[in-house]
Amino acid sequence: MASSTSEAIRNGVAKAARLHEQLGSQTDMVAQLGSIDVFDTISQLDITLLLRPLNGLLGAYLREPAPGILITTQRPLSIQRFTAAHELGHFYLEHKPSLDDEQVLRRSPFQNRGLPDLQELEANTFAAAFLMPRWLVMQHCRQRGWTAVDLQDPDKVYQLALRLGTSYAATCYTLQRYNVIDPSVAKELLAAEVRTRKQRLLGDFVPENYFGDTWLLTEADQGTSISGSRNDLFVIRLKEHSSGGYVWNLDQLVESGFLIVQDTREALDEQGVGNPVFRNITAHLEDSNYGRVDLTEQRPWQPQEPLSKLSFDFDLSGPELEGLSRADKKKALLAA
Ligand SMILES: [Zn+2]
């Protein structure tokens, strides 16, 4: 057990890195970029995990009779995931049992302020370092061609948070910890509202509510894995070379279970005829929670020769529901 703040932070980061090594996470992400599946890790380590409506608690870690984790069903997926990683930290760091409420989990995972003890700080640091290892943050930024300057923009940080499967605030704290942004930028980012990010992206489309997340998908998402929730919205923004006769074929999006609620074209900055346009498609999932999208930009008369494509796998079955986690259910099915 750590005896100082700095030791707790060091331990949390080091143990998260060790677990990733043990799991071979980095190799998996090279094969397909996405978020760390913490529920799958807990399942692999044979720790009993149950989801329940927990009054006033986000999660708990128990040791008797066997290691067990409880996670609330009353929060969005990103909070469930952070709580699960925190409880996994208690297990992996061989901590005492713990009941965890908002007080413990809403703070910066890299500061001791307001935390009851060093064990909680250590588990929080573990959670952040496990869900957002530096190499994964960098891999997502490389995929999108983003540099440190881009990460001063709250819209981009929000999109990064969605791909990491973490909350916007936890992502800001972690970028500051990695010295990608300085404390004053982190403060400004933390003051920015997530709802505004969603509204800016959706433009004049007004959803029933803003509970779900809003993803911006572009050709930079090619080959990735998207993991979100049933009520998430998607803005798919694609460059279309219509003057050359090319159009994006959206049939496959509909076949994958998405409902298109808006489809517009917008001129790019340049003037003149013959320039590409942006195709902006707003959609949400209607049927099935899992699947794959394969969109191609093609000439209708030459469909076999696409100019560009956007393919991604999706799992939008979050948040985790009462009972076993999705990972444990999958494991039980495979064993049957
Ligand atoms: Zn705790």
> Which residues fall inside 5 Å of ion ligand 1, going by CB?
98, 100, 120, 123
Residue 88 CA to ligand 1 centre (angstroms): 9
Q: Which helix (H) or strand (E) holds 239?
A: strand 233-240
| CATH class, 207-318 region | mainly beta
Mean pLDDT along residues 226-255: 94
pLDDT, position 258: 96
Q: For residues 66 and 312, give the distance between their C-alpha atoms in angstroms, rounded to a whole number.
A: 39
CA of 51 to the centre of ligand 1 (A): 16
Task: Judge whether 5-131 and 207-318 match in fold.
Answer: no
CA of 281 to the centre of ligand 1 (A): 42
Through-space distance between the first and last CA atoms of the chain, rounded to whole angstroms: 40
What is the rounded CA–CA span in Å between residue 315 and residue 329? 15
Cα of 76 from ligand 1 centre, angstroms:
18
- Report how far ligand 1's centroid is from the alpha carbon of 287 (Å): 37
- Chain segment 133-161, per-residue pLDDT in tens: 999 999 999 999 999 999 999 999 999 99
Domain boundaries, the chain: 5-131, 135-199, 207-318
Could you tell me the distance, in angstroms and rounded to a whole number, from the CA of residue 233 to the centre of ligand 1? 32
CA of 117 to the centre of ligand 1 (A): 9
Confidence of residue 272 (pLDDT cuts 50, 70, 90): low
Task: Name every residue whose Cβ is closer than 8 Å to that of residue 46 and which is 6 or more positions away in sequence.
Answer: none
Residues with Cβ within 8 Å of residue 21, at least 6 apart in sequence: none
State in Å: Cα 246 to ligand 1 middle: 54
Residue 276 has a CB neighbour count (10 Å cut-off) of 17
The C-alpha atoms of residue 107 and residue 117 are separated, in whole angstroms, by: 13
**Closest C-alpha to 228, from 140, 319, 128:** 319
Average pLDDT over residues 165-182: 96
- Tens of pLDDT, residues 69-110: 999 999 999 999 999 999 999 999 999 999 999 887 777 788
For 5-131, the fitting CATH number among 3.40.109.10, 1.10.1380.10, 1.10.10.2910, 1.10.3720.10 is: 1.10.10.2910
Instruction: For residue 95, give the DSSP letter.
Output: P
